[in-house]
Amino acid sequence: MAKCPHVVIVGAGFGGLAATRALRHVDVDVTIIDRNNYHLFQPLLYQVASGLLDPSAIASPVRTIVRRSRNVDVLRAEVTGVDATKQQVTTSTGTLDYDTLIIATGSVTDYVGNQDARMHSTGLKDLNEALALRSRLLSCFERASLTTDAAARRRLLTFAVVGAGPTGVEYSGAVAELIKHVLPKDYRRIDFAEVSVVLIEAGERVLATFAPRLSRLATRSLERKGVRVILGESVRDVDDHGLVLAGGERIETTNVVWTAGVRATTPPDFAADALGRAGRVKVTQSLHLRDHPEVFVIGDAAAVEQAGAVLPMLAPVAIQGGKYVGGVIAARLKGTSSSPFHYHDKGTMATVGRGAAVAQIGPVRINGLVGWFIWIFIHLLYLVGFRNRALALWSWAWNYFFWDRPVRLIIAQTGNDEPSPPTGGCAGPPPNSA
């Protein structure tokens, strides 16, 4: 009996899972490799970090997701190298041969060379970071309720977010609502006039990829929630006690969240044809390496040009890329050709808090409550599994009607798999994994 071609997929994110599903009924053996045993719905990480969602609502075990796919195996391991000549992937548990390789490794926080920011701030790209941010925020309120040092208390109660893209805007709005509507009921000793949330953006407006009108609406919504929005200022220095803006202003804080950009990540020693901006691998219009047509790169890791521009690092791009590559592999086995990859832009959106969101779908611009309901529908659609959708919808409904965040737990992260805490700050975020 002939051996089925072996397809190795590195990464169980949106792109990797989409490719796995597309190959479910194809005559291949699939091995999906990831350092974690779960698929993470990254767009909702900020809601874990702000106490709205339980981690299990946005993370699903990979083996559970693919258990009905008889041709799929799962390997929890770290990929340490790729040899495209020998067609081998080296992992922390051994070496795998492949006939086709799909790189779907996603992206990490980009500190644009600012080592101080890397050491003294926390990103929001993985579950450890989200849990750490939640614990740090609540720990700071615990400490502030006990300290008699006014300067130290203000530093504990100042929360700075660097980068006003969708993640920065959504996290800032969620934290502002938590501070305004929930925590005053828990911390009666604290004067909440001392609490502040600062959103810092080097560009001229928040949500720069959105239409200017939607950016202005998002800014006004944030300001109504009590967020101080600073535009046109980059961050020069970050230390244990605060940050300094390029203009010289110093903001005293022990809480700096870095959402100012992301950078593609690929396996060590991955011999890509060429790297583009943000470390993304340049691929052909069929999403494979020019010199190695058996090696595909999809999602955030791939620099794919369409209509004269590189496609954005968004989940829909990764999902459509994964489906496309699955189709290309199936076509190759049948001896047929495939048309080039074409991304269909279904729009972008961001929520600014309870009952407020902005969305642009082609020429249509939507904001406010209608935009928020569309945002809910789209996110429920992309969440993996009925249970996760039900948990998320229940938490959103609870927060909407009762102004409450049910997951306000301070968790001390311990164990061999967890990174060590940094030297400064409030009780516990791990350093970034980038």
Cα separation values, 199 from 130, 218, 258, Å: 18, 12, 10
Query: Does pLDDT of 132 surpass 60?
Result: yes
The whole-angstrom separation of Cα 296 and Cα 285 is 11
Q: What is the pLDDT of residue 199?
A: 98
- pLDDT bin (cut points 50, 70, 90) of residue 3 is confident
| pLDDT tens figures, 301-314 | 999 999 889 999 99
Cβ burial, residue 119 (10 Å; 0-12/13-18/19+) = middle
| Contact residues for 401 (Cβ-Cβ < 8 A; gap 6+) | none
| pLDDT tens figures, 72-103 | 999 999 999 999 999 999 999 999 999 999 99
Query: Does pLDDT of 425 surpass 70?
Result: no
Q: What is the pLDDT of residue 413?
A: 57
Over residues 173-189, the mean pLDDT reads 95
Q: What is the pLDDT of residue 274?
A: 67
φ/ψ (deg, to 5) at 238: -135, 135
CA dihedral 298, 303, 309, 312 (to 10 degrees): 60
Q: What percent of the chain has pLDDT over 90?
A: 81
Cα separation values, 419 from 13, 91, 270, 431, Å: 22, 20, 25, 7
For the chain, what is the mean pLDDT?
A: 91
Query: Does pLDDT of 104 surpass 50?
Result: yes
**Over the range 50-65, which residues count as b (16 or more CB within 10 Å of their CB) and which as e?**
bbbbbbebbbbbbeeb
Q: Return the minimum-mean-pLDDT range out of 257-261, 348-352, 358-362, 405-409.
A: 405-409
Q: What is the pLDDT of residue 400?
A: 87
Which residues are known to be catalytic? 170
Tell me the sheet residues that pair with 231.
Answer: 201
Q: Which is nearest to 163 in space by CA: 132, 117, 213, 131?
A: 117
Over residues 107-121, the mean pLDDT reads 91
Query: Does pLDDT of 275 surpass 80?
Result: no
- What domains lie within the chain, and their CATH numbers? 6-109+263-334 (3.50.50.60), 115-256 (3.50.50.60)
| pLDDT tens figures, 46-61 | 999 999 999 999 999 9
Q: What is the pLDDT of residue 422?
A: 37
Model's pTM, two decimal places? Answer: 0.91
